[in-house]
Structure 1
């Protein structure tokens, strides 16, 4: 039994060696050795492109090149200064792009009812919003409450617009003090509207009717 096992192991080793040799030979069949004979190397060296030496400029050529570059730089600088707007013009352009105001001759637009005075003092367009600057005052003898979600803003086509109110008090005490705030309307809602209307009533009685129309929309 031992002899049989040894013979089988020996036979398996020979078979494995022969199989590995055959696989290695097949894998290297397509690989060839590069031709490194001296004659071929000499021929390739002779056929290689030759590099030219460094060409030095004369003193006159260097001075002419520098002069030409200096003249070109001066012309570019002069053209840049000529095309650059003046500080006053630049500031005016920036202010126009950032904020535009309506004609002040159209203001104030005032509405009064029950001792309450509501007025729009100006309209400005800033970024993506139309800003209505408003004043409100209670000249009556009792405190009036407002819920600004009841503020109704419409355009000249009769469409209701979403608006937010800032800095106006919800409870307006009697007296002569004037409160200032802002009504903000997204310009995306205006859709080529030329004028706006606005109305406000008190809460919860809803007896006051503060109404205004002809509010110009700033382009």
Structure 2
């Protein structure tokens, strides 16, 4: 058999292809081996573990009934605790000793409106002119004094009510507004009635007021009334 160049070339190519395939396979095996060197097979099969857990959960536990005596004991203790808490809440509080202020108020009780009203009327007279405070009431946050003026003197008297002075027991001046009182009081003995309004901003229960009225322009007439109680 005659070997031609074509057959020789074909054999050489086949040999090269087989060598290249063997070298590629060896190189791939080596790379895979190096990559899986740190990987090992698990000690326990996870499928067996899942099967075991499912089998354990499927097991039926035995029912153990609760002791009836334990239940009755707990109920009895609960009822007793409720009764004790209820009785402690209904227990009357301890009586406290009265304070000094309460003792003092019991010895000297505050004046009622009736006792204050019993102090009226308050009256002052000078040179035949009489000023009388008939009553005092609290209205709208102000103290209203019902007053009357009468002149039994020999001549008429004029008043300028801006000269009216009202002070508390500390000497503080208070504003006062007159209503219905005459500017000139004739010497006829006629009784003229009116009101004096004292705003109650600075007035407190238990205070005593003083009032002073003089004639105008001579200012010789002195009509002064003190110890006027504040009514609330």
Query: TM-score if structure 2 supplies the norm length?
Result: 0.50
Contact 1:102–1:216, Cα closer than 8 Å, also in 2: no
CA RMSD across the alignment: 1.5
Residue 186 and residue 101 in structure 1: after superposition, are their counterparts in 2 closer, same or farther (change >3 A)?
Answer: farther
Contact 2:206–2:229, Cα closer than 8 Å, also in 1: no
Contact 1:147–1:203, Cα closer than 8 Å, also in 2: yes
Moved >4 Å (runs of 4+): none
- Tell me by how many angstroms 1:141 deviates: 1.2
* Aligned residue runs from structure 1 range 184-203, under 5 A: 184-191=197-204, 194-203=207-216
Give distance in 2, aligned partners of 1:166 and 1:203.
18
Alignment correspondent of 1:137: 150
1:43-79, Cα deviation, whole Å (9 max, x unpaired):
xxxxxxxxxxxxxxxxxxxxxxxxxxxxxxxxxxxxx
1:146-202, Cα deviation, whole Å (9 max, x unpaired):
000000000011100000000000010111210000000111132556110000000
Give distance in 2, aligned partners of 1:161 and 1:101.
25
Is 1:163 aligned with 2:186? Answer: no
Alignment correspondent of 1:218: 231
- Tell me by how many angstroms 1:104 deviates: 2.5
Q: Secondary structure at the match of 2:118?
A: helix
1:63-96, Cα deviation, whole Å (9 max, x unpaired):
xxxxxxxxxxxxxxxxxxxxxxxxxxxxxxxxxx
Give distance in 2, aligned partners of 1:158 and 1:136.
25
Alignment correspondent of 1:61: none
Alignment correspondent of 2:129: 116
Matching residue within 139, 146, 165 for 2:159: 146
Unaligned segments of structure 2, at least 5 residues = 1-112
Contact 2:204–2:230, Cα closer than 8 Å, also in 1: no
Is 1:127 aligned with 2:146? Answer: no
Matching residue within 152, 172, 196 for 2:185: 172
Give distance in 1, aligned partners of 2:226 and 2:153.
24
Unaligned segments of structure 1, at least 5 residues = 1-99
Say how many residue pairs are matched. 120
Q: Computing the radius of gyration over CA atoms, which structure comes out larger, 1 or 2?
A: 2
Contact 2:126–2:222, Cα closer than 8 Å, also in 1: yes
Matching residue within 173, 177, 181 for 2:194: 181
Query: TM-score if structure 1 supplies the norm length?
Result: 0.52
Residue 204 and residue 195 in structure 1: after superposition, are their counterparts in 2 closer, same or farther (change >3 A)?
Answer: same
Contact 1:102–1:217, Cα closer than 8 Å, also in 2: no
Residue 178 and residue 202 in structure 1: after superposition, are their counterparts in 2 closer, same or farther (change >3 A)?
Answer: same
Residue 152 and residue 142 in structure 1: after superposition, are their counterparts in 2 closer, same or farther (change >3 A)?
Answer: same
